[in-house]
Amino acid sequence: MDAPGVEVVRPLMVFGYDDAPHGHAETAFTNVRLGDDALLWKEGHGFALAQNRLGPGRLHHCARLVGHSERALRETVRRGTLRQAFGKSLLDLGGNEERLARCRVALNQARLTVLTAAAELDLRDHHPGSKLRPKALEALAVCKIATPRAAEECLDLAVQIHGGGGLSSDHPLAAMWAAARTLRLVDGPDEVHLRTLAKMERKREKKALQVHPGVGNPRL
């Protein structure tokens, strides 16, 4: 960051939050030159290193969202039980109980995708330049898609059950919702991970057809 030509132009807000002190910033690189001592590994392997960092990075984002979602469901039950409207607890009104149960289903499913991805990552060779195995890549893509969606569902219900307060900064819910929504974009938008998954699926089937050419015959 101290090298000549590196300039932090301005801090950026994410959904109105500044994420200080780590934050996000517009950064300009103008004719930046670094010495050999700045090499983290072998020359020409920067992309591989970045990919290796992104795998566990995606997983930790998703694990954090599982925690946020658990908190959201707890807060939903607390307020949904204590707050009375029309003579009943909020959870006993208008399908809220069923929404709560559906959130639990989504969250447990998402947690399993996180655990699966973590187990696949644990199996990898920890050499800095070693590529992630296809199974790990697949599991990471699945958890990167599934978890923010489940978290959004849980946080959306929690915000709604908290009424106006849920939108305010008196509660952490709005910030947690913003984090879940952000994760559908950062570290690769959903569409790119979906594309990866579809490619893997098609590649697998293509291989199966080569081994058993009769299978998938369009006349059958």
Ligand X SMILES: Cc1cc2nc3c(=O)[nH]c(=O)nc-3n(C[C@H](O)[C@H](O)[C@H](O)COP(=O)(O)OP(=O)(O)OC[C@H]3O[C@@H](n4cnc5c(N)ncnc54)[C@H](O)[C@@H]3O)c2cc1C
Residues that bind ligand X (CB under 6 A): 14, 24, 182, 185-189, 191-192, 195
Residue 136 vs 179, nearer CB to ligand X: 179
- Beta carbon of residue 81, minimum distance to ligand X (angstroms, whole number): 35
| Tokens encoding 127 | 């050499």
Residue 155 vs 183, nearer CB to ligand X: 183
Residue 97 vs 187, nearer CB to ligand X: 187
- Beta carbon of residue 41, minimum distance to ligand X (angstroms, whole number): 18
- Beta carbon of residue 145, minimum distance to ligand X (angstroms, whole number): 13
Residue 68 vs 99, nearer CB to ligand X: 68
Residue 13 vs 208, nearer CB to ligand X: 13
Q: What phi-psi label fits residue 188: left (phi over 0), alpha (psi between -120 and 50 degrees) or beta?
A: left
Q: Is the peptide bond before 21 cis (omega within 30 degrees of 0)?
A: yes
Q: What stretch of H or E contains 29?
A: strand 24-29
- What's the sign of the alpha-carbon dihedral 15, 58, 203, 45? positive
d(CA 152, CA 167): 14
Burial, 169: exposed, middle or buried (Cβ in 10 Å; 0-12, 13-18, 19+)?
Answer: exposed
Q: What phi-psi label fits residue 189: left (phi over 0), alpha (psi between -120 and 50 degrees) or beta?
A: beta
Residue 135 vs 181, nearer CB to ligand X: 181
**Residue 11: CB partners within 8 Å, gap ≥ 6?**
18, 23, 24, 25
**Residue 1: CB partners within 8 Å, gap ≥ 6?**
8
